[in-house]
Structure 1
Amino acid sequence: MEKQSSQEIKAYQEELLRRQLVYLREHSPYYKQLFEKQGIDIDMIETIADLVHIPTTSKDDIQAHNEDFFCVGREEIIDYCSTSGTLGKPVTFGLTEKDLERLAYNEMRSFQTIGVKPGDVVQLMTTMDRRFMAGLAYFLGLRKLGAGILRVGSGIPQLQWDVILQHKPRFLIAVPSFLLKLIEYAEQHDIDYRNAGIEAVLCIGESLRDASLNDSVLTRRIREKWPLKLYSTYASTEMGAAFTECEAFQGGHVHEDLVIAEVLDEDEHPVPDGESGELVVTTLGVQGVPLLRFKTGDIVRKHVAPCSCGRNTYRIGPVEGRKQQMVKYKGTTLYPPALHDLLAGFPEIEHHVIEISHNDIGTDEIVIYVSTKESTAEFLLQIKDHFRAKLRVTPRVERRSSEELQRIIFNPLSRKPITFIDKR
C-alpha cells in the first residue's frame, strides 16, 4: 500500500478512520460522551479534512479520565504500558491481543524499512521493564520478522561490547549519544569497532537531523568516527506506531494503516506542508485505548513530496522541540533539542544538563551544567560564545563533576536520561 498513489493511500486511511469512529462511538466512554456533548454526528466525518470538526484530545484529558479511554474490559487486556511522564503524571494504556499484534506489525515494518532481514541479529540497548512500550515493541517486531534479538538493556559499554564481539549483530537499537560512549570505550580498550560487523543503528530518543533534514552535529560526530547508517525513528506509547526513516534519511514514513497524522498551529489549524507545528495523531485499528486527534506536544514538520525510496506515504521530520518545553529567552524562542545539538559539538564535554527557570522579572533563565575534560575558564567562555553566535543567547555555564551529573542524568527512577530540567 505504501507504494500506491498518495490519493489511494488517503482513501484507504479514510476508510479505516470511518471504522475507527464507529468503534469509538460504540465502545469508548470518553469519546461517546464527547460526541454527545459536542453534538458530533460521526457519520458526517468522511475525510481526513473533516477531522477539524472534532475537538483534539490532550494529555491532560487522558490523565483526568484515564479509565474512560479504555474500550474493553480488563479481561481482554494482555499488557499494561505507561507513558514516561515526561510532561506530567504518567498514564496507563492497556493492550489487547490484537493491539500487541498491531504493535509487532508496526515494528516489523520499521525494521524492514532500515534493511533488517530474517536471520539478522539485532542488539537491543533499551529496557523492556517498567511498563515501557518501546522495548517490548522492538522485541515483538523483530520476533515477527524472524530476526535474532540480543536483549542487553541500556548502558554499560563494557557489557555491550562483550555481547557485540561474541555474537556479531548487524544492527543496534540505541540512543545515538550512547554510541559516542561505545566509541570512547572501544578506543580506550583497543577494540576495532569499525570492523566489528555493525552496519546500522535504529536510533531512539534523540533527533539525528535538523529542521532541514540535514545531519545534526551529534550525527556528524558519530559518523566521523564510525561510518554507520543511522536511522531515526519516532514513536510514542499513545499512538503505538512509529515514523521510521528509509535509506533516503528524509523523515520517518507514516504507517498508513496504523495512524493519521496532522500538524497544527497554535489555533489548531493545519499548517502548510513543510512548516512546523504540533503533531496530532489519530490511531487506527487500536482496540484497548484508541485515541482521536491526540496532541502529542511535539513540534515537527510534515513532508508530502514522494520519497526517492519509492514510498508515497508522507513523512514526519525530526522533533524540533516539545510545546510545553518552549523557552522564551530575551526575545528568542528556543527548544531544548537545539541546545543539546550545540553542546554535542564539543567533544570535551562528557555530560551536560540544561536547567530552565523563571527569574524574578518573569523571564526564562538558562543554566548549563557541564562536566568536561577541559576545565579552563576559557573553555567555558568558548561554550558561551558558541551559543551567542549560533542561537543569539548567552546562557550561564557552570562546571560540575562527572559523578554529580551522572546521578542526575541516569536517575534510577526515570526510564529516560534526564538532560533537561524545567523548573518553571
Structure 2
Amino acid sequence: MIPKIELADPAAIKAFQEQKLVDALGYVSKNSPYYKRLFEAQNISVSDIKTLEDLQKLPVTTKADLQHFNDDFLCVPQNKIIDYATTSGTLGDPVTFGMTDDDLERLAYNEAISFDCAGIKEGDVVQLMTTIDRRFMAGLAYFLGLRKMKVGVIRVGAGIPELQWDSIKKYKPTYLITVPSFLLKLIEYAEAHNIDYNNSSVKGAVCIGESLRKQDFTDNALAKKITDKWNVKLYSTYASTEMSTAFTECEHANGGHHHPELIIVETLDDHNQPVKNGEPGELTFTTLGIEAMPLVRFKTGDIVRLHHEPCACGRNTLRVGPVVGRKQQMIKYKGTTLYPPAMTDVLTGFGNIESHIIEIYTNDLGTDEIVIKLAVKQESEAFLHEIKDHFRAKLRVTPKIIFTSTTILNQLIFNPMSRKPIHFFDHRK
C-alpha cells in the first residue's frame, strides 16, 4: 500500500510537491483571512512562488500567530466544520483546529499509510491505548485510519493495566498504540499477576509521545528497557495536531517517513534560513490538501535532523530523525546546551528510578539552573553519586538532584488538565 509518489525518484517527488505547493498557496491567498492580510501587507504575489526554494520568499508562521489570530486561519464557513480539535497546549495556550469532512478523510488516509508503514495490515486487530475524547486529534485519527484499513480496533483508552490485559487476553490484538513508557507498566502488572506477556498475541506497538531512538537510530534507554523484557517490535512516530500528518518508522527503524502528498518540510536555523543537510534545525512545514486550516511555513518548535538517503523499504522520501529537543526548552547550563530528552534518557537507564521531573529556574546570576526531582525504590548516597557520575559521562554536567516521593511527583506529572504526563517544568523568568 505504499503510495506511488513515495517510490518515485527525488526529482519526481520535488516536481510533484511544487505543483501541490502552487495549489496550496492559491487556496490560502483566496480563502484564509490571515494569509490574505499577510501577503497583502508584505506585497507578496503567490504566483511568484513556484519551487520549494521559493518558499524562502514567504514569512514563517509561529505558534504565537496561531494563538493570537486563531479564527483568522479558518478558510471555510463554520457550518462546514465536522470536528473540533485542540492542541495539547504544552508550550502555551491551546489552539483550536476545525476539520471538514474532506480533512477527516485526509487524516484517515495519513494514518492508513502510516500504520501500513509500521506493518499493520487488513486482518490485524489493534488495541487503541490513547484517549479519543477531550478534543484530542490523534485518538480520532488512529481510529479513522484503522477503520479505513479494515483493521479491527479495541478502544480501551489510556491507563488501567488490568483492563488492558483483560482486553489483550479476550480480543487478541496484534498491535498496540500507546505511549511507550506505559508498556513498562504493562510488563510490571503482567509479572505481578503471572501473565506470560511474551506468549501474548501482541507482536508490535506503535509508540507516540516519547522518543524510542537516539540520533543514530539505535534504541534509547526506554526502548531497551521494554524490549529487553518483552519481545515486541516498537515503531516510533512523530506528528502534531497542526500538521495533521504523521512521520512513522518502517521496519528498518531509521526515521519517520515523509508523505510528500500531504506536507512540505524544511529545517530552519534561528534566522529562518535552511540548515545544511544533516544538521539539526527547527522543523517547519507547509500542509497540502487541508481545507479548513491550512498552514504555510509553520515553525513547530521541534529541533530535528532530516535524512535523505534511500531506505531499504523502497521509499525514496526523506525521513525525520528523533526530536533533539524543543527550541523553547533549550537550556544553557555551565557552558553546555541541553534539551530535556537527553536528561530523560540518562534517567531512564536506572531501574531504581520510579519517576522524575525536571525543573528549570533562573538563578541569581541570571543563568539557567536545573533541579531534577526523583522518586526511587531505594535512596542512598551511593546511588546519588552513581547518577551524578552518569550525567557527567553522558552530558558533561551534573544538575542538582533531590529525592522525593512518587505521591508528590504524580500530583505534578498527572495534571488533570493535561492530556499528557508532564515531566518538564520551566520556571525561568
Instruction: Identify the TM-score tier after normalising by the shorter chain.
Output: over 0.9
Correspondence 1:278 to 2:290: no
Which amino acid is 1:127 matched to? Answer: T
Map Cα deviations across residues 162-185 of structure 1 (whole Å, 9 max, x no partner): 111111100000111111111111
Aligned residue among 20, 23, 28 for 2:24: 20
Gaps of 5+ in 2: none
How many angstroms does 1:119 deviate by?
2.1
Partners of 2:277 and 2:197 lie apart in 1 by 40
1:219 equivalent in structure 2: 223
TM-score when scaled to structure 2? 0.98
Aligned residue among 59, 64, 74 for 1:60: 64
Which amino acid is 2:369 matched to? Answer: E
- 1:23-422 matches, within 5 Å, as 23-422=27-426
How many angstroms does 1:115 deviate by?
1.1
Map Cα deviations across residues 342-391 of structure 1 (whole Å, 9 max, x no partner): 11100111111111111111111111111111211221221111111110
Which amino acid is 2:242 matched to? Answer: E
Map Cα deviations across residues 60-93 of structure 1 (whole Å, 9 max, x no partner): 0011111110000100000010101111011111
How many angstroms does 1:144 deviate by?
0.6
How many angstroms does 1:402 deviate by?
1.1
Partners of 1:190 and 1:274 lie apart in 2 by 46
Map Cα deviations across residues 193-227 of structure 1 (whole Å, 9 max, x no partner): 01111111100001111112221111111111112
Which amino acid is 1:49 matched to? Answer: E
Partners of 2:182 and 2:277 lie apart in 1 by 33
Gaps of 5+ in 1: none
CA RMSD of aligned residues (A): 0.8
TM-score when scaled to structure 1? 0.99
SS at match of 1:225: coil
Partners of 1:323 and 1:211 lie apart in 2 by 17
How many angstroms does 1:413 deviate by?
1.1
How many angstroms does 1:394 deviate by?
1.0
How many angstroms does 1:269 deviate by?
1.1
For these two proteins, the number of residue pairs brought into alignment is 424
Map Cα deviations across residues 32-60 of structure 1 (whole Å, 9 max, x no partner): 11111111111110011100000000000
How many angstroms does 1:312 deviate by?
0.4
Partners of 1:132 and 1:345 lie apart in 2 by 31
Partners of 2:171 and 2:97 lie apart in 1 by 35
Map Cα deviations across residues 87-143 of structure 1 (whole Å, 9 max, x no partner): 101111100000000000000001111111112110111111111101010010001
Which amino acid is 1:344 matched to? Answer: T
Partners of 1:378 and 1:190 lie apart in 2 by 33
Partners of 1:238 and 1:203 lie apart in 2 by 19
Which amino acid is 1:197 matched to? Answer: S
How many angstroms does 1:300 deviate by?
0.3
How many angstroms does 1:261 deviate by?
0.5
Which amino acid is 1:268 matched to? Answer: N
SS at match of 1:238: coil
Partners of 2:318 and 2:127 lie apart in 1 by 29
Partners of 1:282 and 1:333 lie apart in 2 by 29
Partners of 1:26 and 1:45 lie apart in 2 by 15
Which amino acid is 1:289 matched to? Answer: M
